[in-house]
Amino acid sequence: MPAKAIIGGQWGDEGKGKYTDIFAAHARYAVRFQGGNNAGHTIVPGDGGRSLRLHLVPSSIRRPGCIPVIGNGVVVDPEVLVSELSQLESLGYDVSALRLSANAHLIMPYHKILDRVSERYLGKNRVGTTKKGIGPAYSDKAARIGLRVQDLLDEKILLEKLESVLREKNQILAKVYNQLPLEASELAARYSELGKQLAPYICDTVSLLNEALEKGESALLEGAQGTLLDIDHGSYPFVTSSSCTIGGACSGSGIPLRHISKVIGVVKAYVTRVGAGPFPTEADPLSQEMIVSKGKEFGTTTGRKRRCGWFDCVLLRYASRINGFDEIHLTKLDVLSGFESIPVAIAYDIGGKKTKDMPYHQSEFHHARPIYEEIQGWSEEIRRAQKPEDLPLEVRQFVEIAEESAGCRVASVSVGPAEDQTVFFD
């Protein structure tokens, strides 16, 4: 069985972790290919076991037969990874199988400081980042001054690279942002110590994955964030700094297109976003409160309350086009139970013109007004639904609208956080 990719169809937090965990039961490898510890995945096992909150380690970790891989496209904060691994070990998980790409870039202390202080300077134009150093680390990668996981393995090289990078960074920290300079030798000693702890996991993940796929083994590519946060295709500049769409799955793992047999979209039955930026279907404060409390819409990484809005067919159509979704999974449908009617945006009104297409111009997206169709709500709880017949008819209408906008089938709906709260359609 070849590779499958799981991609978020909105602004992240669609519930990809749950589906990675489910699909990982049948995969040999689960690969994170972009982002870093800005992501947060919550896994709730169906057997009543303890739920898990993960930031860097792929969501397959509780599946013993599935090898978790952190691919070259991820940015790795070594302190965070070491602490996540020791937490997992203390919960009884065997993390020894983890494989970490030697080519993944590192998030260093100056990236975290710069993320925090540069946002302050942007004032009202700030992106609302997670302040984990993601953007500055990817900037250094593009500027060819990034440090990589492999650099942790040789303290002498690490020190040389740090001395060179810090010559400029310390000037910026001190003169632009009024911050204290960092000491190369102190960082080199601290990070090579972390390197020793990570050494058993570090390898050439590109060869590992390609050799496995050539032998007929399977891989699951786990996207973080979502299509509208993609650096190229998202609501720029209110995006993250990596490719969260299908192209990023290839470049961030080194797996060629021909091995990817299925692109799986995960979309929530409503929309959320954290951080700043346009959000056409953002709901009124009362509805937002209801969704936040029922859907527990707080960031796994930052604890921030998420902004909530109604299902947006324009976004889904766009995400499906960019990624070429073969099927989608509709999550958190149970959160909408009890609404008398549910607004679904079927198009935008932009300056008096109706469109079903995502406008390419930032100002048009800012001014897009959703054109809603009200669908009949359902009053019954659906959290115990096991098969399609257990779902109210109104849910079927919702599913049909989603299928029409995505141009592919809805393969399942999720009616609760646990693995067994998932209704698959034939």
Structural tokens at position 361: 């111009």
Site string for ligand IMP, 269-308 (x = CB under 6 A): -----xx---------------------------------
Active site residue 233: no
Backbone dihedral angles phi then psi of residue 243, each to the nearest 5 degrees: -95, 105
If one asks whether residue 225 binds ligand IMP (CB under 6 A), the answer comes out as yes
Structural tokens at position 313: 């067919």
Structural tokens at position 262: 């299925």
Using CB under 6 A, which residues numbered 131 to 160 contact ligand IMP? 132, 134-135
Active site residue 105: no
Using CB under 6 A, which residues numbered 226 to 245 contact ligand IMP? 229, 238, 240-241
Q: Classify residue 199 by its DSSP letter.
A: G
Q: How far is the CB of 275 from ligand IMP (least distance, A)?
A: 2
Q: How far is the CB of 313 from ligand IMP (least distance, A)?
A: 21
Q: How far is the CB of 161 from ligand IMP (least distance, A)?
A: 23
With respect to ligand IMP, which residue has the nearer C-beta, 52 or 102?
52
Query: What are the strands, taking DSSP E only, across 77-125?
Result: 99-101, 105-106
The single residue among 5, 27, 31, 39 that binds ligand IMP, judged by CB under 6 A, is 39
Residue whose structure tokens are 């870039």: 105
With respect to ligand IMP, which residue has the nearer C-beta, 241 or 412?
241
Beta bridge partner(s), residue 369? 349
Using CB under 6 A, which residues numbered 50 to 109 contact ligand IMP? none
Q: Which amino acid is at 110?
A: Y
With respect to ligand IMP, which residue has the nearer C-beta, 101 or 242?
242
User: Comparing C-alpha atoms, which of 42, 12, 78, 20 is closest to residue 240?
Assistant: 12
With respect to ligand IMP, which residue has the nearer C-beta, 241 or 421?
241
Q: Is the Cβ–Cβ distance between 59 and 222 less than 8 Å?
A: yes
Catalytic-role residue among 21, 26, 41, 115: 41
With respect to ligand IMP, which residue has the nearer C-beta, 131 or 294?
131
Residue nearest to ligand IMP (CB): 275
Q: Is the peptide bond before 237 cis (omega within 30 degrees of 0)?
A: yes
The single residue among 34, 130, 323, 414 that binds ligand IMP, judged by CB under 6 A, is 130
Structural tokens at position 341: 């009617």
Residues binding ligand IMP: what is the number (CB under 6 A)? 21
Question: How far apart (Å, rounded) are the C-alpha atoms in residues 156 and 388?
Answer: 60
User: Comparing C-alpha atoms, which of 151, 158, 163, 116 is closest to residue 135?
Assistant: 116
The single residue among 127, 314, 336, 347 that binds ligand IMP, judged by CB under 6 A, is 127
If one asks whether residue 12 binds ligand IMP (CB under 6 A), the answer comes out as yes
Using CB under 6 A, which residues numbered 311 to 330 contact ligand IMP? none
Q: Is the Cβ–Cβ distance between 349 and 377 less than 8 Å?
A: no
With respect to ligand IMP, which residue has the nearer C-beta, 129 or 192?
129
∠ CA 255-422-227, rounded to 5°: 40
401 exposed, middle or buried (CB, 10 Å; 0-12, 13-18, 19+)? middle
Q: What does the chain come to in residues?
A: 426
If one asks whether residue 38 binds ligand IMP (CB under 6 A), the answer comes out as yes
Q: Which residues are catalytic?
A: 13, 41
Residues of this chain that bind ligand IMP (CB under 6 A): 11-13, 38-40, 127-130, 132, 134-135, 224-225, 229, 238, 240-241, 274-275
